[in-house]
Amino acid sequence: MLKLGIIGQPLTHSLSPVLHATLMHLLKVDGEYRKYELKPQELDKAIASFARDGLRGLNVTIPHKVAVMPLMDALSPEAELAGAVNTIVFEQDGSRKKGHNTDIAGFIRSLPDRFTDRAAEENVLVLGAGGSARAVLTGLIQLGIASITFAVRDPQKAVPLLSHAEVIKQAYQANTKTATVSLFSLPSLESFTGLINTTPIGMWPEDGQSPLTPIQLETLPAGALVYDLIYRPTETRLLQDAKALGLHPVNGLDMLLYQGVCSFELWHGQPVPPNVIPPVRAQLLQSLSKDVS
């Protein structure tokens, strides 16, 4: 049996159990996926216990993505660059545990082809500089994006992120330009071909809010990508406004989906067939509709 799970706190609204239960059902894999709510002080003993109990893998979510890193025997290059672990793989005998970060691959796979195909010409504005922004930064630099500007309330708080960007650029031999700007004094957005929201502004149940006004959004070029990492609700106020302005809105559901698929492939040892993706996405959407109704 493939024994899997997720650790975090809280886990009440996590969609990961639905995602992985659906994958195992469709792929006819005998397994289980459980939720383990852990306090930070319980982490060390719990990880050791999971290794002894024969777990094959864990997803890691807030607030443990950074705290688990020193508990690993090894880290993937992506986990080191992102500075966070969202997936743990235990050796079959429990002797070693390796931390991975599939948020980066999940983000890249969720982007529209027309955006990734011309990555070297894209100039992206990223709202926020928290943990999610670091995964986005790593993915964008890996793609070879022309420039990334972080819009934050306090530009000083983005300084560590910009410093880390230099490490990522060196790792991928990228020439991506990076900068910061105050969220309160944003210039016209006409020079940006993509906008990515990594903040929680607009997340359910405060889903009437938006980090930007329609007046600001309408300065984006026609057809520009507006990506909101939020998937609850599936259409945030930001995405509603972008759609009304003829821009290209994308929510964060596929990032969740693909990071989960990448995790499952690490645990199961086999690629997930493309034809499995649509029914898994449909199941996630069904769960979301129940969750917010």
pLDDT digits (tens, 9 = 90+) for 122-151: 999 999 998 889 999 999 999 999 999 999
- Name the CA dihedral angle for 192, 193, 195, 196, rounded to a multiple of 10 degrees: -130
Flag whether pLDDT at 279 surpasses 70.
Answer: yes
- Contacting residues for 231 by C-beta, under 8 A, at least 6 apart: 251, 252, 253, 255, 256, 288
pLDDT of residue 292: 53
Tokens of 190: 């006409």
| CATH 3.40.50.10860 domain range(s) in the chain | 2-101+255-291
| CATH 3.40.50.720 domain range(s) in the chain | 105-251
Catalytic residue among 45, 65, 169, 243: 65
Please write the tens of the pLDDT for every residue from 45-103. 999 999 889 999 999 998 999 999 999 999 999 999 999 999 999 987 767 999 999 99
CA-CA-CA-CA torsion sign (176, 179, 198, 78): positive
- Gap between the Cα atoms of 220 and 225, Å rounded: 9
| Residue ranges of E strands in 172-258 | 177-182, 194-197, 225-228, 248-250
Any idea which fold 105-251 has? Rossmann fold (3.40.50)
Q: Contact, 169 vs 175, CB < 8 A?
A: yes
Tokens of 108: 């890249």
User: Is 243 marked active-site?
Assistant: no
Q: Which CATH superfamily is domain 2-101+255-291 in?
A: Leucine Dehydrogenase, chain A, domain 1 (3.40.50.10860)
> What mean pLDDT is predicted for residues 161-183?
95
Q: Contact, 266 vs 87, CB < 8 A?
A: yes
Please write the tens of the pLDDT for every residue from 197-210. 999 999 988 888 99
